[in-house]
Amino acid sequence: MDSLTPVPFTKRLIVALVLMTATAAFAAPTGTAQPTSSNASACANRETPPPPVDTSEQPKPGTKAPGPLEVPESPVGGDRLGECGLILPPNAQPLPNITAASWLLADIDSGAVLAAYDPHGRQRPASVIKVLLAMVVAKELRGDIVATATAEDIEQECTCVGLRDGGQYTVRQLLQALLLSSGNDVAHTLARQLGGVPNALRKMNALAKELGALDTRAVTPSGLDGPGTSTSAYDVALIFRGAMKYPEFADAIKLQQTEFPGRNGGTITLNSDNKLLTSYEGALGGKTGFTDDAQHTYVGAAERNGRRLVVTLLRGQQTPTRIVDQAAKLLDYGFAMGPGGVGQLVNGAPQPKQKVTTTQPPNVADTAATGGDGRSERSAPSAFGNVGGPITAVAGLGLLAALFMYFRKKRARARRQAAQSA
């Protein structure tokens, strides 16, 4: 009987190994996170604007285009703003006809987003990015500082105000010319006052990130297209709202016209390119933009009965309705709406979640729930990746086969020894 004592042990070992193998094969985590929203993955412009139609975004020789900006895990401003279709509150009235690919309507003071269409869809800003440049200027430069224009400023791709090489202008005059007539020569001059174009862009993008405009990357101070350019309807509204807190900006954006030093002496009259200033009741100002890739863009605001609204439209068309008239219709729509909304213009970039550490040792229940290393088993990656389960199962079966053959030979040898003894 002594020669047969390994048999019960073998059975117990085999049973244990079978259970371990089955557990590993069927319970091994895959290590692949599931998307939080199937709708988010279907949004065409979730990461980048549509493909360009010209060569303006081709990188310079020897350089690479920057990759897409990271898409936040949760939509800035609320979950509904991650949708890429029409976003309205319950029982909302029918909308007017809008041709813009992305738009947003919000209350400036409360920050409530009243309605939107693909608000975080990434588009090109064109000249509405000058609002971000103007905000940096208003934040960092005194209005009475004198800047001298250079030949490099004048050589910028126009629209241009008509600066004179060696001409001197105050920052206040340049800011007004930037917002009224959208001068690219002026944008370049102001960028130099901020320490040069690369430094100005760094400041613009840092401010956008600080505001929570995480879809935005300025690649030129003027809004001319370039590799990696990006913004969204949500971001443009957020930036405009922030800029309106600076009196220099708010005073300049509402001007219908201003006198500006002429290239040949004397002064010239600059008129605002925002037609709503003269045609819409309560208009507070706005900014238009256009490039072949961006198409028509607009951001503007108006006030009625103590209520201030901002509207943004990106990648719009001028037919059958001009982009500023579409903005007017959306503003009318917003002023007719009651309180409430579908999201929020944030007051700063969302803060990353802090990791919580503890000096207390985990108890047995916590250790079991977290797999012994503080991570949830539901989200912890498998040590073997997606193929860990099958590999574990094959290895376990091979071990079982080897053990079975070992003990079978051992039992046969014991029987032969017993027969010889007899």
- Mind telling me the catalytic residues? 127, 130, 182
Write the DSSP symbol of residue 402.
H
290 pairs with which residues across the strands?
296
3-state secondary structure of 145: coil
Q: Please give the structure tokens belonging to residue 62.
A: 């020897």
For every residue of 109-140, DSSP letters joined together read TT-EEEEEESTT--B--GGGGHHHHHHHHHHH
Q: Please give the structure tokens belonging to residue 15.
A: 């049973």
Q: Indicate the angle between helix axes 233-243 and 197-211, nearest 10 degrees.
A: 100
Q: Are 173 and 284 in contact (CB under 8 A)?
A: no
Question: E strand or H helix at 277, and its extent?
Answer: helix 276-279
Q: Are 131 and 139 in contact (CB under 8 A)?
A: no
**Positive or negative torsion for Cα 92, 98, 104, 107:** negative
Q: Are 122 and 49 in contact (CB under 8 A)?
A: yes
Q: Are 57 and 293 in contact (CB under 8 A)?
A: yes
**Helix, strand, coil % over all residues of the chain, rounded to 5:** 40, 15, 45
The C-alpha atoms of residue 285 and residue 322 are separated, in whole angstroms, by 17
Residue 191 has φ and ψ, to the nearest 5°, of: -60, -40
The C-alpha atoms of residue 371 and residue 302 are separated, in whole angstroms, by 56
